[in-house]
Amino acid sequence: MCRWFAYISPQEPCLLSDVLINPANAISKQCSEHYLPKLLPHGEEHDLDDSNDDLMKMRNSLLNMDGLGIAWYTKAAENYVKGLEGQRPALYKTQSPPISDFNFRNLCSNTETQCLFAHIRATSGSVVTQVNSHPFVFGRHVFMHNGAISDFSTIRRDMTDLLSFDAYCNVLGSTDSEHAAALYVTNLTNHGAKDTWEKAYPITEMVSAMNKTLVQIMELQRKHLGDKAAPNSLNFCATDGHKMVATRFRNHASQQPPSLYWSEFAGRTLNQKFPGNPDGADKVNESATKGTDEKIGKHTIIASEPTTYDEGEWHLINPNCILTVDEDGTEKEVPVEYDAEFNAVDPSHP
């Protein structure tokens, strides 16, 4: 399945290459190799085939080679555009494998940001093209997804009817994920026009919009498919550059959603200015300019896979929960509110 990585901090920027390229398990290297503590066995004597979870093995046997996208927030535009205040997302998408993309590597080596989304794609059926790569941008809001909306072609028409006019017009590709992004923005802005996308909304309203989006998808599936509706994997993430909400969700009574972790510590290990190395305690960071007693600013990382060797730095988000990060960087996990009657039984969908 896809993989994504998100970083946000009220005060501490990260260098993109530190978090996306340099670590041994950076997202740019998760096209085929995976590290999933608390979900899969690891070590020299174990591999993916040792898992007794067939769904888990299926998800992690796929190659994520169908597109790369990153969005990072910058204040550059406010210095030139009248009436624009605060940071806005810049966007880069490519179909090239990240490890061999010269432009991607150069951009990451020379860009810092306090809010970052990165995504590598494994298509669930839609065409491989740049516009179908995540993340998706709606004004100051950015959205990405790992998983799949089951039977999307069946509910797509009705789903578009729920979108505001401007959100519908902003859908440039054909993926289930971009339609979910447009539905989230429609809910967040209460069907507002394009100018409402420039507004920042309270974290409670972001959570409400995300929860509503999940429920609407399941309602449409139940309407068209009844008891035959298959389970969805909906690991969504959305940000306005200052706050973030992320879901780890699968509407099934027993099956795990796709992997999703968060950390309030890993940013220090990843930041080359500080002592430590993401690839092992025995490795020396010769680039460090800070002392061992110096602290890094508050930050949060949310990612499909941990990108540092230390499992203790990472928390696995509970199934069917929303992780929130407010403007002060405070993290909170809340359950998704939905009717258990939407839990499906078909185990064959991703």
Q: For 163-179, how does the pLDDT look when each residue is reduced to its tens digit (9 = 90+)?
A: 999 999 999 999 999 99
Structure confidence at residue 101 (pLDDT): 87
Tell me the pLDDT tens digit for each residue of 93-140: 988 777 778 999 999 999 999 999 999 976 666 666 788 898 999 999
Tell me the pLDDT tens digit for each residue of 186-214: 999 999 999 999 999 999 999 999 999 99
Structure confidence at residue 58 (pLDDT): 52
Q: What is the mean pLDDT of residues 238-251?
A: 98
Q: 3-state secondary structure string, the chain?
A: CCEEEEEECCCCCEEHHHHHCCCCCCHHHCCCCCCCCCCCCCCCCCCHHHCCCHHHHHHHCCCCCCCEEEEEEECHHHHCCCCCCCCEEEEEEECCCHHHCHHHHHHHHCCEECEEEEEECCCCCCCCCHHHCCCEEECCEEEEEEEECCCHHHHHHHHHHCCCHHHHHCCCCCCHHHHHHHHHHHHHCCCCCHHHHHCCCCHHHHHHHHHHHHHHHHHHHHHHHHHHCCCCEEEEEEECCCCEEEEECECECCCCCCCCEEECCHHHHHCCCCCCCCCCCCCCCCCCCCCCCCCCCCCEEEECCCCCCCHHHCEECCCCEEEEECCCCCEEEEECCCCHHHCECCCCCC
Structure confidence at residue 258 (pLDDT): 94
How sure is the predictor about 42, in pLDDT bands with cuts at 50, 70 and 90?
very low
Structure confidence at residue 346 (pLDDT): 54
pLDDT(43) > 70 = no
Q: Average pLDDT, whole number, for the chain?
A: 90
Structure confidence at residue 167 (pLDDT): 98
How sure is the predictor about 44, in pLDDT bands with cuts at 50, 70 and 90?
very low
Structure confidence at residue 28 (pLDDT): 82
Structure confidence at residue 11 (pLDDT): 95
pLDDT(232) > 70 = yes
Q: What is the mean pLDDT of residues 229-242?
A: 97
Tell me the pLDDT tens digit for each residue of 252-290: 988 999 999 999 999 999 999 999 999 998 898 988 999
